[in-house]
Chains A and B, each alone.
Chain A
Amino acid sequence: MSVARLRDASVVSFLKIREQQSRLLAMALAVAIVAYIGWKIVQSPDQALQFAFNGLAVGAVYALLAMGFTFVYSTVWFFDLYYGAAAAIGAYGVFYLRSHDVLGGQYAVNSGPVNVLFAVVTAGVAAWALHVLCYRRFQGRAQPRTLLIIGGLLAAAVGVYTGLVLANPANLHVLLSPLVAVLVTGGATWVLRRGFQRVVAPATRGPLGAMVTVAIVVGVLVAILVANTPSLGLYLSWGVACLLSGTVSLALYRGLYVTMRERANSPLIMLVASLGILLAITAFITIVFRAAPRPLPEAFGSEPWTIGGANIKGFNVFAIGLAVAGFGVLLFLVKKTAFGKAVRAIGDDEEVAKVVGINTTVIIAVVFFIGAVYAALAGLVSGHDTAIQPRMGLLLLLKGWIASVVGGIGSLYGAIVGGFALGMLEQFGIWDLAGEWRDVISFIVLIVFLSFWPQGLLPRK
């Protein structure tokens, strides 16, 4: 026997599985998993239903994470590990704004430096957004210096407003009511105009003044309502946390990723750099909030409903609905809007997209913002469901990453299916084990999928 033959007979070659055997093994594995779950269901249907409900509840968080993650990935084609920190910022943002409300305020946190930091970051992002969105429109009409001063003042105002909101979390409903007024007015104007153009008189501008007046009235009424409802504080803090997470991601994108992608557009370099950001933000959160787990205040729907002998909390049903709604919104954005078309173009080929006149920097910034908002939503939903701790960022990131790979990386359908599938598999997997093995199970699921179905459940076409 020659040396080469000997090498062929070594352990690795013996274990190297050929294509066909691999497919057989995969089928056998799938059959075994289905048989195991089926056997469990037959054995005790009530308990199986309970595990299924738990799986759906956990899966909703994973689906949200996976959707945002895959959306960002399929645009810029690198794994942005800041994503985990975005989830942690979302959860801790809610905690920061409501900490006087949690357990009698014994963990109350409000530090001046953090407020100032976020005020500065927000001001910077606002300045950049103003520059990108409005500069060209006013370019010829005023002196550049005037524009600069006006823009700087506006950005500073945004920063000061953010700092004020963060410094007075107890009066969130009052402080945020102007913002709510502005948003509602804008939304109402858009709806009225669109409705008028679609339904009443196509291809006309319509009575603009009257519509704006109505919208302003609606906005002010809603704002007054919000300002007089202190119980809305928690849900307003959700919005603020999502916005903060998105703002940080915009700052990172403009401040770092743009430069980096120009210097060396290698996925591994971007991954390691974003890993550094994740490390730094996790440690920063630990310094501000300490490492111990903290609870979030009680949201609605904490009483369990009993359906068919199994319990599910109303909040979990809301989370599942949120995941489905988030999927719908993202699908609509990608498939039906001009923005989605641009995103897909950038995902296909960024250089060509730039050549045909798409402002890739702005589009990618919006993609990062949306991704961070989805991460923050997932973070705060899972925080309300269990508790929050600084290292949740890394764990949630890994779960979102796994779910998007299992579903088929880059595909939105795959993300939602993968998220719920991962949640279900995890819950059924810990039926006979202790709950602490759930992370192990999800990684085993990942390795099995990568070995036998590297494309995922619903691959991107």
Chain B
Amino acid sequence: MSIVTGALRNVRDVARDPRSWWQRSKGNIELWANLIVLGWALVFMLWRGGGFAITVGSVFAIWAILAVSLNLVVGYAGLLSVGHIGFLGIGAYTTAVLTSHASYEQLRTEAIPTFGWPFFAALPFSVLLAGVVALVVGVAFNRFRDDIYVLVSFGFAVIAFTTFLSWRNLTRGAFGIHEIARPAIGPWVFDGELEFLALLLVFLGLVVLIAWLIVTSSFGRVLTAIREDEQAIQVFGYRTTHYKLAIWVISAMIAGLAGALLASWSTFIDPNSFVLLESVLLVSIVILGGLASIWGSLLGALAFVMLEEGMRFVPFLPSEFIGQIRQVILGILLVLLMLFRPQGLVGRFKL
């Protein structure tokens, strides 16, 4: 809420006395990050029109849900997890297997079990399965911290990816799963892109609300305390492992939700969406946007999506290199952020 009132106050100040506002906010990086990213997005949407805005909005919503979920773990609990893409994959594959109704006789490849469930029946299972896996993984990972945590979470991403690729009886390996169901409420199917975008934004709003409730509650304050000094908060009698495990499971469940939405949105998934590098990109989004700030995660996801879309219009840039050049830019951004602004654009916590 403070964001809204702050923004309103800024607008009022600009109108009242532009020169003194300029003097005061020259060095305010947060303000400029907000203005630049939001302005860039706005200009692009207006320029490219509705269809573009819908596609970009959908991609943004999925990345934003993921980024908010990862920020709960990285920013608030202080566990730098690089393996979050695994939970996205678990959610996506659960929804895909449960709702796909492809007939593999026609494709003349090996068949996998098809269930043909509706999307909203499969969604809770995706979320729950991600949570259960997170519980098991979290119990094993709870004793690690800092750089060793990075290493073992790399391990989780690798294990998840290899499972998606190699458990061919369930996931069809590199062939991927086709014809994943679109969500439907009664006779109303979310078939159009605009309807799906609305659904995604509803879920994004829900996730942001949940995250906001978590971080402003006493539970969230204990997490922040664990991040700052784990031993000190243990002295006060808090079982820090329980708290860390709880936020880890919640975060994984939100990532599973994002995966279910991703699978249904693209109606086709294969393991290439869940490689280790994507996971690293996700971490860089969270760090770019700002640690321990939900708004920062939204901003980071928006900047990331706009970066990719913006590069499509750079002249003399072959389209097959866009992903790679985006990766170069993100890598360099990560270095610059670590050098000059370790808390990210609008973050509250320095690594």
Check B351 against A272 for contact (C-beta < 8 Å). Answer: yes
A12 touches B327 (CB 8 A): no
Per-residue CB proximity of A420-461 to B under 8 Å, as 1/0?
A: 000000000000001011011001101100110000000000
Q: How far is the CA of A115 from the CA of B223 in the complex (A)?
A: 50
State which of A260, A391, A446 has its C-beta within 8 Å of the C-beta of B338: A260
Query: What residues on B are CB-neighbors of A263 within 8 Å?
Result: 339
**Contact partners of B351 in chain A: CB under 8 A:** 266, 268-269, 272
Interface residues of A, dominant DSSP: helix
- The listed residue (A11, A16, A79, A280) touching B147 by CB distance below 8 A is A79
Q: Are A275 and B334 in contact (CB under 8 A)?
A: yes
Across the interface, which residues of B come within 8 angstroms of A12, CB to CB? 139, 142, 239, 241-242, 245
| Per-residue B-contact encoding for A267-290, CB less than 8 Å = 1, 0 else | 111111101111111111011000
Q: Are B339 and A259 neighbours in the complex by a CB distance under 8 Å? A: yes
Residue pair B333, A286 in contact (C-beta under 8 Å): no
- Say yes or no: B151 contacts A283, CB within 8 Å: no
Q: With CB as the reference atom, state the residue of chain B lying closest to A281.
A: B331
Q: Mask for B312-339, Cβ within 8 A of A = 1, else 0?
A: 0000000001001101101111110011
The answer to whether A272 and B334 touch (CB under 8 A), given A11-B135, A279-B284, A283-B325, is yes
How long is the Cα–Cα vector from A434 to B331 in the complex, in angstroms? 34
Partner-contacting stretch, out of A26-34, A215-223, A317-325, A394-402: A394-402
With A283-B327, A451-B143 as given contacts, are A436 and B335 in contact (CB-CB < 8 Å)? no
A436 touches B151 (CB 8 A): no
B281 CB contacts on chain A under 8 angstroms: 279
- Complex alpha-carbon distance, A278 and B154, angstroms: 14
Bound complex: CA of A441 vs CA of B144, how far in Å? 19
Interface size counted on chain B using CB atoms at 8 A: 49
- Check B152 for interface membership: any CB of A closer than 8 A: yes
Q: Inside 8 A of A128's CB, which chain B residues have their CB?
A: none
Binary contact track A56-79/B, C-beta < 8 Å → 1, others 0: 000000000000000000000011
Write the nearest CB–CB distance from B280 to chain A, whole angstroms. Answer: 6
Q: Mark B243-281, 1 if CB is under 8 A from A, else 0.
A: 001000000000000000000000000000000110011
Complexed CA–CA distance, A7 and B139 (Å): 16
The verdict on B140 contacting chain A, using a C-beta distance below 8 Å, is: yes
Contact B324 A437 (CB under 8 A): no
Whether A10 pairs with B242 at a CB distance below 8 angstroms is: yes
CB-defined contacts of B276 to chain A, threshold 8 Å: 391, 394
B92 at the interface (CB under 8 A from A): no
Q: Which of B61-69, B158-166, B214-222 contacts A (4 or more CB under 8 A)?
A: B158-166
Q: Is the CB of A268 within 8 A of B146?
A: yes
Instruction: Write out the residue numbers on chain A whose beta carbons fall within 8 Å of the beta carbon of B8.
Output: none
* Closest B residue, CB atoms, query A402: B151
Chain B residue numbers with a CB within 8 Å of A7 are: 239, 242
Q: Of A259, A276, A281, which is within 8 A of B330 by CB?
A: A276
Measured CB to CB, the nearest residue on chain A to B160 is A440
List chain A residues, Cβ under 8 A from B339.
Answer: 256, 259-260, 263, 273
Chain B residues whose C-beta falls within 8 Å of the C-beta of A16 in the assembled complex? 241
Given A12-B242, A267-B147, A276-B334: A443 touches B135 (CB 8 Å cut-off)? no
| Max chain B Cβ within 10 angstroms of own Cβ: one of A267, A447, A451 | A447
Contact of B158 with A267 in the complex, beta carbons under 8 Å: no
Asked if A142 is at the interface (CB within 8 A of a chain B CB), the reply is no
Interface residue B204 (Cβ < 8 Å from any Cβ of A): no
Q: Is B148 located at the chain interface by the 8 A CB criterion?
A: yes
Proximity string of chain A (8-24) to chain B, C-beta cutoff 8 Å, 1 when within and 0 when not: 00111001100000000
Whether a CB of chain A sits under 8 angstroms from the CB of B85 is no
Determine whether the beta carbon of B155 is less than 8 Å from that of A443: yes
Which of A11, A264, A279, A398 contacts B158 (CB under 8 A)? A398
Q: What is the CB-to-nearest-CB distance from B111 to chain A, in angstroms, rounded to a whole number?
A: 20
User: How many whole Å from B175's CB to the nearest CB in chain A?
Assistant: 15
- The CA of A201 and the CA of B276, in the complex, are separated in Å by 62
Residue B296 lies at the interface, judged by CB distance under 8 Å to chain A: no
Does A405 make an interface contact (CB < 8 A)?
Answer: yes
The answer on a CB contact under 8 Å between B331 and A279 is yes
B338→A440 contact, CB < 8 A: no
Given contacts A78-B147, A437-B162, A443-B155, contact A279 B242 (CB under 8 A): no
Query: Which chain A residues border B241 with CB–CB below 8 Å?
Result: 12, 16
Question: Are B159 and A276 in contact (CB-based, < 8 A)?
Answer: no
Query: How far, in angstroms, from A78 to B142 measured CA to CA in the complex?
Result: 21
State whether B162 touches A273 (Cβ < 8 A): no
A267 / chain B contacts, CB cutoff of 8 Å: 146-147
Assuming the A-B contacts A276-B330, A276-B333, A287-B325, are A269 and B338 also in contact, with contact meaning beta carbons closer than 8 angstroms in the complex? yes
Q: A12-B245, A398-B158 are in contact. Are A276 and B324 (CB under 8 A)?
A: no
How far, in whole Å, are A260 and B338 apart by their CA atoms in the complex?
8
Contact B152 A450 (CB under 8 A): yes
Contact at A440–B162, with CB atoms within 8 Å? yes
Q: Which chain A residues lie closer than 8 Å to B156 at the CB level? A: 443
Which residues of B are found within 8 Å of A450, using beta-carbon distances? 144, 148, 152
Do A443 and B158 contact each other (CB < 8 Å), given the known contacts A276-B330, A276-B335?
yes
- Please report the C-alpha to C-alpha distance between residue A284 and residue B276 in the assembled complex, in whole angstroms: 17
A interface vs B, CB < 8 Å? 7, 10-12, 15-16, 78-79, 256, 259-260, 263-264, 266-273, 275-284, 286-287, 391, 394, 398, 401-402, 405, 434, 436-437, 439-440, 443-444, 446-447, 450-451
**Would you list 8 pairs from A and B whose C-beta atoms are within 8 A, ordered by A residue?**
A12-B242, A259-B339, A268-B146, A279-B284, A280-B328, A398-B151, A443-B152, A443-B154
Closest 10 CB pairs of A and B: A276-B334, A280-B331, A443-B155, A279-B331, A283-B327, A273-B338, A276-B331, A283-B324, A276-B335, A283-B328
| Residues of B bordering A, CB below 8 Å | 80, 135, 139-140, 142-144, 146-148, 150-152, 154-156, 158-159, 162-163, 165-166, 239, 241-242, 245, 276-277, 280-281, 283-284, 287, 321, 324-325, 327-328, 330-335, 338-339, 342, 350-351
